[in-house]
Amino acid sequence: MKIALLGATGQTGQYLVQQALEQGHAVTAIVRNPAKLTVHHDNLKVVKADIFGAGSLKAHLQGQDVVMSCLGFPASFWWGVTGYTVSMAAVVGAMREARVSRLITMTSWYTEPNSGAQSSYLIRFLLLPMIRSVLNNMYEMEHFLQKAEDINWTVVRPPGLRNLPATAQEFLTHEGYFVPDGSGQPAGGAVGRGDVARFMLSLLNSNAWVKKGVAITTK
């Protein structure tokens, strides 16, 4: 498939580039700093564009089968995070102009403000308040996509990310804001970035999670 990838220079994005190329896909990495992507491959094209400008993105989306995003923006206590919504508005605008309808993007467990109520004290009272500005903007972006009826989007929600390559472990999935175990508690707290990339790429062969948000973790 022809994949346009945003966030290709990031930690998850780099796993996704590597796995996509191994699987025989053609990847167009849309980045702000091409020098940061050190991989060279006949099926990898690296282009510089502004993720906040539909006009800048449009030309790179033309002829693509799918847009994938591993974009990330830092948390802030002082001002709201807007990168997820502003970039997604530009991406969806460019997708419409370029007539690309499939979108696979990542957010996180606990984007819904009350969904962390059953998480551990450490997560609930320390981690989630620290990253709430990011989670809020991810949640807004998820709502924006829910209203984009012409876009076949999937939001992949992982828990805490570890810098680990893909495994062969089975995925646990749940259409919600975290993956519950048998007693309704969050099932584990972390997943490897390589496995997140593996899950996102597995969606290219399935319509199971189209127009849905799916929380994932590994068994």
Ligand X SMILES: NC(=O)c1ccc[n+]([C@@H]2O[C@H](COP(=O)([O-])OP(=O)(O)OC[C@H]3O[C@@H](n4cnc5c(N)ncnc54)[C@H](OP(=O)(O)O)[C@@H]3O)[C@@H](O)[C@H]2O)c1
Q: Measured from the CB atom, is 13 or 213 closer to ligand X? A: 13
66 binds ligand X (CB under 6 A): no
Cα separation, 161 vs 192, in Å, equals: 6
Q: Measured from the CB atom, is 12 or 218 closer to ligand X? A: 12
155 binds ligand X (CB under 6 A): no
Pick the stretch among 39-47, 65-73, 139-147, 168-176 that binds ligand X (CB under 6 A).
65-73
Torsion, Cα of 95, 96, 102, 106 (10° steps): 50
Cα separation, 87 vs 6, in Å, equals: 10
Task: Give least dist CB 167 to ligand X, A.
Answer: 17
36 binds ligand X (CB under 6 A): yes
48 binds ligand X (CB under 6 A): no
32 binds ligand X (CB under 6 A): yes
Task: Give least dist CB 67 to ligand X, A.
Answer: 14
Cα separation, 134 vs 73, in Å, equals: 7
Find all residues with CB under 8 Å of 5, minimum gap 6, and list them.
13, 16, 17, 20, 27, 28, 29, 30, 67, 68, 69, 70
Cα atoms in the Cβ-side hemisphere of radius 13 Å centred on 26: 10
Please give the residue ranges that form the binding site for ligand X (CB under 6 A): 7, 9-13, 32-33, 36, 51, 70-73, 83, 106, 108, 134, 158, 160-161, 193
